Amino acid sequence: MAFEKKELKKKSDNVSDWYNDAIVKAEIADYGPVRGTMVIRPYGYAMWEQVQEIFNRMIKKNGVENAYFPMFIPMSFLQKEKEHVKGFAPELAVVTIGGGETLTEPLAVRPTSETIMYECFRKWIGSYRDLPLKINQWSNVVRWEKRTYLFLRTLEFLWQEGHTAHATHEEALSMVHTAREWYQHIYEDYLAVPVMMGKKSETEKFAGAVSTFAIETLMPDGKSLQSATSHDLGQNFAKSFDVTFQSKDKGLEFVWQTSWGLSTRALGGMFLAHGDDDGLIIPPMIASIQAVIIPIVKNDTDTEKLLSFTHSVEGMLQESDIRTKVDERDTISVGRKFNAWEVKGVPLRIEIGDKELESASLTVVLRDTHEKMTIAVKDAAKAITEECARMQKRLYEKQKQFLTDNTHDVTSWDEFKKIMETTKGYLRAFWCEDAECEKEIKDATKATTRCLPLDAPSESGVCIHCGKKATHRWIFAQSY
Amino acid sequence: MAFEKKELKKKSDNVSDWYNDAIVKAEIADYGPVRGTMVIRPYGYAMWEQVQEIFNRMIKKNGVENAYFPMFIPMSFLQKEKEHVKGFAPELAVVTIGGGETLTEPLAVRPTSETIMYECFRKWIGSYRDLPLKINQWSNVVRWEKRTYLFLRTLEFLWQEGHTAHATHEEALSMVHTAREWYQHIYEDYLAVPVMMGKKSETEKFAGAVSTFAIETLMPDGKSLQSATSHDLGQNFAKSFDVTFQSKDKGLEFVWQTSWGLSTRALGGMFLAHGDDDGLIIPPMIASIQAVIIPIVKNDTDTEKLLSFTHSVEGMLQESDIRTKVDERDTISVGRKFNAWEVKGVPLRIEIGDKELESASLTVVLRDTHEKMTIAVKDAAKAITEECARMQKRLYEKQKQFLTDNTHDVTSWDEFKKIMETTKGYLRAFWCEDAECEKEIKDATKATTRCLPLDAPSESGVCIHCGKKATHRWIFAQSY
């Protein structure tokens, strides 16, 4: 539905209010009737379809195959891996009635699918010939969260979950990092959001994993969003679910497993990172509409001629794989259209009126800089492709600068506390790796360990908080 | 996992046993741990991805947009449309616990999404400018069935559900038939299964619809599978959910709605229809692998040279958009590979050994006729494309013949009963359109009305069962 630009809240006033307002007004999503649920509207869902297409291309090339497992998990399955059930039990939605009758065993709605998948892996894997087994699932999952936030934390969300089984730990670890690199690629090269990556602390790792590697991204308010995770499950689940294989020479062994996931939260992070007081800004590489074409019909315009020209431009751009849409609604004004597409964050607006028709040119307006330019129709496909590439780079560089500006090495506890009270951001500091100390830091500053960067060297230092011996500088931030 | 051909049950012995056995052995699907649930394995899921791609292409061209709505529906929503809740209440899975606490209002897991979507439609639709609204959703749904059957009836299944709102009944009806034609196109031109189409009786129509149009297909045991449905919802839901629009001239009106769905059941029908004692037969148009290439390495084979030739053939076929896979596993024998791919129903098997390498030719075996042919590599892409097209046609024609042979006009009740006790199939007969009579027919013969064909003329006759006045010949069959 149409709306006035002035109605939109300002990002410069309050990021959080702006975000909720922009998501709804841009027709990306809407609130569901059940607390914490969300409707993903066509304009938002089209971006998820882009993510699916990009990710499917990457994983299929690697030999990962898509499949689908049931959403209902018997409670007894979840209980097989002790750490796993401890982590997920508080967040479960439970079906207790089916077909009008009380069920003998209640069923959990999947919060993640390790347990139900690995029961099958046990049946499917007999010998080394069946390995590696690499499965991915696109599905909905449910986690009963107390505080919810459109896209960033909803009771039900969409995601992909990859699950693999290997003959050796080395091969499994390599898979863990391949998945992490896929996520980095999606964030940096498509969503235009630079990442902070590394290993999670024992407290923050996935329930049931040996270790978790995470992609973290910095949001405008200086908080960190856990944006994707890749887990080395070791043989933990293999032992709980008895997933074994006959090896080439050594008899029966447990498989080595990994799991890794990326959810619709990724889109939320992208919306939150980019965008300005006029609405969202969608990076061209992920935009379902890269250029919206708006024909401007005046009283004395030869409408038929103008629209025919408009569609020939559309056809030409689509030939060059530029995702375009002509907005030729005659029920709302041109001014309203401009506003609506700005709020939606479409990278380029192309205006075509009598002047453009006569001069065989296009008026192009860039969403992020508001720069206006005239482009000859004959050069349009090339020029617009280039403008998209430049905007993609510009958006990324802006976020990269923001990340750099807000990542600080700190050596004093007072400084740590002060930054967490003001600008927030990422703090790199020595930490003793003791869970109790980690909790005290959180209680004092709301900051938690986000990760130990992959390239962090082994050093000799003292913990930023407790002063005990520390060998690595960890990344701290307040978490979403 | 590898298996022996002799283990597979025979379709000629018992269709139902063969079906369950073949689905599992072909690694299409497996049983889930909860009664009536199913795991769709990669080989089966790839076919569902084909269906999604084909259907997305058709609907997007028509302006239908994909979206995603929450899976949890408040019970009070379902109760708003009286007929709807009556139809679905007995089949619901109900979540009563969330985050460890008993919910104030229990939540139904969607059996279909009319109620949750139309609550949003109410918010989104303001005036005629917002119409038509055409939304499609790919999702999982749950119906607590008593008797289940892999793909054909499972507690949880995957589907698409289209939901549209229009300004006029005429436009809505046109949408209903467009969707029905899409389904016919998928069944006949991709799944190679001819359809019986028409309007459902009052008893058999969708709970809450004004009328339901169905695609029915005839299975090998003479029973009919309801294979896709398209509903004219009239203004029933619009009135229950207060979905109105400001019309151009006449003030506030209720919208006219449609909904239509196709599920993973479609694949089940296809598996059941085609296939023989050696396993499944997948029609080339839907097959995720159209040709499997098996290199045959003997003791004195120059393996490197043979594999290089094999991959050049693969590349050439893929260039021509033939979906191929090279099975170069060295852990199982060639004989086992032949059997495995036969059970999986891959349309063409291409054998490449020393003889083929020397003569620059391929040995090609057709899955349905078992015909073996030699094709020169230089002609291979064209020849294989043609063989795929011929097989597609052959599979369809065989089913078409089966449908024709098993569709009978009957005028006597004795004949009706006798056919239903023996060969079954479709019976075309006058029926009085009285629900009580329909029930008596079912009790006596297990047959129900399947549909009133679209082109059924208005005639003057007497009901096959009760002898009362009847104006149309309906299609009867036993239903899956």
Strand arrangement of the beta sheet that strand B93-98 belongs to: A72-74, A101-109, A93-98, B93-98, B101-109, B72-74
Burial of B9 (0-12, 13-18, 19+ CB in 10 A): middle
Q: Is the pLDDT of residue B1 over 50?
A: no
The whole-model pTM stands at: 0.96
Tell me which residue in B38, B67, B123 faces A40 most closely, judged by beta carbons. Answer: B67
Closest Cα in chain A, distance from residue B103 (Å): 10
Would you call A40 and B95 a contact, using CB atoms and an 8 Å cutoff?
no
Would you call B67 and A39 a contact, using CB atoms and an 8 Å cutoff?
yes
pLDDT of residue B12: 94
The type of residue at B91 is: E
Closest Cα in chain A, distance from residue B395 (Å): 27
Prediction ipTM score:
0.96
The predicted model gives A108-115 an average pLDDT of 96
Would you call A144 and B99 a contact, using CB atoms and an 8 Å cutoff?
yes
Q: Looking at beta carbons, which residues of chain A come within 8 Å of B98? A: 92-94, 144, 155
For B45, which residue in chain A has the nearest alpha carbon?
A67
**Confidence bin at B6 (pLDDT 50/70/90):** low
pLDDT of residue A330: 87
Would you call B41 and A329 a contact, using CB atoms and an 8 Å cutoff?
no
pLDDT of residue A305: 96
The predicted model gives B239-245 an average pLDDT of 97
Closest Cα in chain B, distance from residue A143 (Å): 8
Q: Looking at beta carbons, which residues of chain B come within 8 Å of A267? A: none
Q: Looking at beta carbons, which residues of chain B come within 8 Å of A126? A: 1
**Residue that the structure tokens 């750490």 belong to:** A83
Give the span between the Cα atoms of B360 and A364, in whole angstroms: 56
Digit-coded pLDDT (tens) for A81-98: 888 889 999 999 999 999
Strand arrangement of the beta sheet that strand A324-326 belongs to: A324-326, A291-295, A348-352, A361-366, A372-376
For A91, which residue in chain B has the nearest alpha carbon?
B99
Would you call B42 and A67 a contact, using CB atoms and an 8 Å cutoff?
yes
Digit-coded pLDDT (tens) for B175-212: 999 999 999 999 999 999 999 999 999 999 999 999 99
Would you call B66 and A77 a contact, using CB atoms and an 8 Å cutoff?
no
pLDDT of residue B120: 95
Q: Looking at beta carbons, which residues of chain A come within 8 Å of B158? A: 68
The type of residue at A330 is: D
Give the span between the Cα atoms of A45 and A28, in whole angstroms: 8
Would you call B69 and A32 a contact, using CB atoms and an 8 Å cutoff?
yes
Would you call A68 and B40 a contact, using CB atoms and an 8 Å cutoff?
yes
Tell me which residue in B34, B38, B70 faces A32 most closely, judged by beta carbons. Answer: B70
Q: Looking at beta carbons, which residues of chain B come within 8 Å of A72? A: 32, 34, 37, 93, 142, 155-156
For B63, which residue in chain A has the nearest alpha carbon?
A42
Helix B169-185 to helix B42-61 angle, to the nearest 10 degrees?
140
Q: Which of A249-253, B143-147, B179-183 has the highest mean pLDDT?
A: B179-183
Would you call B30 and A120 a contact, using CB atoms and an 8 Å cutoff?
yes
Q: What is the mean pLDDT of chain B?
A: 96
Q: Looking at beta carbons, which residues of chain A come within 8 Å of B97? A: 92-94, 96, 106
pLDDT of residue A249: 86
Assess contact for B116 and A33: CB atoms under 8 A. yes
Assess contact for B475 and B430: CB atoms under 8 A. no
Q: Is the pLDDT of residue B274 over 50?
A: yes
Would you call B135 and A95 a contact, using CB atoms and an 8 Å cutoff?
no
Tell me which residue in A1, A42, A130 faces B1 most closely, judged by beta carbons. Answer: A130
* Residue A159: how many other CB atoms lie within 10 Å: 18
Radius of gyration of chain B (CA): 25
For A74, which residue in chain B has the nearest alpha carbon?
B34
Would you call A70 and B120 a contact, using CB atoms and an 8 Å cutoff?
no
Closest Cα in chain A, distance from residue B119 (Å): 8
Three-point CA angle B373, B376, B379, nearest 5°? 105
3-state helix, strand, coil in chain B (%, to 5): 40, 30, 30
Tell me which residue in B30, B99, B329 faces A90 most closely, judged by beta carbons. Answer: B99
The predicted model gives A308-333 an average pLDDT of 95
Q: Collapsing DSSP states into helix, strand and coil, what is residue A165?
A: strand
Would you call B34 and A144 a contact, using CB atoms and an 8 Å cutoff?
no
Give the span between the Cα atoms of B112 and A281, in whole angstroms: 34
Q: Looking at beta carbons, which residues of chain B come within 8 Å of A1? A: 124, 126, 130
Q: Looking at beta carbons, which residues of chain A come within 8 Å of B72? A: 32, 34, 37, 93, 142, 155-156
Tell me which residue in A98, A124, A156 faces B70 most closely, judged by beta carbons. Answer: A156
The predicted model gives A440-445 an average pLDDT of 97
For an interface test with B, give the residue of A3, A61, A69 to mutate (most B CBs within 10 A).
Answer: A69
Closest Cα in chain A, distance from residue B337 (Å): 14
* Residue A320: how many other CB atoms lie within 10 Å: 12
* Residue A100: how many other CB atoms lie within 10 Å: 11
Q: What are all long-range contacts of B403-410, with beta carbons under 8 Å and residues at least 24 apart?
A: B403/B194, B403/B196, B403/B218, B406/B218, B406/B222, B407/B196, B407/B218, B409/B473, B410/B464
Would you call B99 and A140 a contact, using CB atoms and an 8 Å cutoff?
no
**Confidence bin at A6 (pLDDT 50/70/90):** low
Digit-coded pLDDT (tens) for A321-348: 999 999 999 888 999 999 999 999 999 9
Assess contact for A244 and A331: CB atoms under 8 A. no
Digit-coded pLDDT (tens) for B117-136: 999 999 999 999 999 999 99
Beta pairing partners, B31:
B38
Digit-coded pLDDT (tens) for A112-142: 999 999 999 999 999 999 999 999 999 999 9
pLDDT of residue A113: 97
Would you call A106 and B119 a contact, using CB atoms and an 8 Å cutoff?
no
pLDDT of residue A7: 82
The predicted model gives B41-45 an average pLDDT of 98
Q: Is the pLDDT of residue B157 over 90?
A: yes
For an interface test with A, give the residue of B28, B49, B56, B68 to mutate (most A CBs within 10 A).
Answer: B68
Give the span between the Cα atoms of A161 and A58, in whole angstroms: 14
Would you call B65 and A46 a contact, using CB atoms and an 8 Å cutoff?
yes
Digit-coded pLDDT (tens) for B423-467: 999 999 999 999 999 999 999 999 999 999 999 999 999 999 999
Closest Cα in chain B, distance from residue A399 (Å): 29
Would you call B40 and A1 a contact, using CB atoms and an 8 Å cutoff?
no
Q: Looking at beta carbons, which residues of chain A come within 8 Å of B30? A: 120, 123-124
Would you call A67 and B99 a contact, using CB atoms and an 8 Å cutoff?
no
Closest Cα in chain B, distance from residue A254 (Å): 18
pLDDT of residue A135: 98
Delineate the domains of chain A, giving CATH numbers in brackets.
Answer: 5-273 (3.30.930.10), 291-387 (3.40.50.800), 407-478 (3.30.110.30)
pLDDT of residue B279: 97
Q: Collapsing DSSP states into helix, strand and coil, what is residue A320?
A: coil
Would you call B71 and A140 a contact, using CB atoms and an 8 Å cutoff?
yes
The predicted model gives A283-294 an average pLDDT of 98
Give the span between the Cα atoms of A243 and A29, in whole angstroms: 41
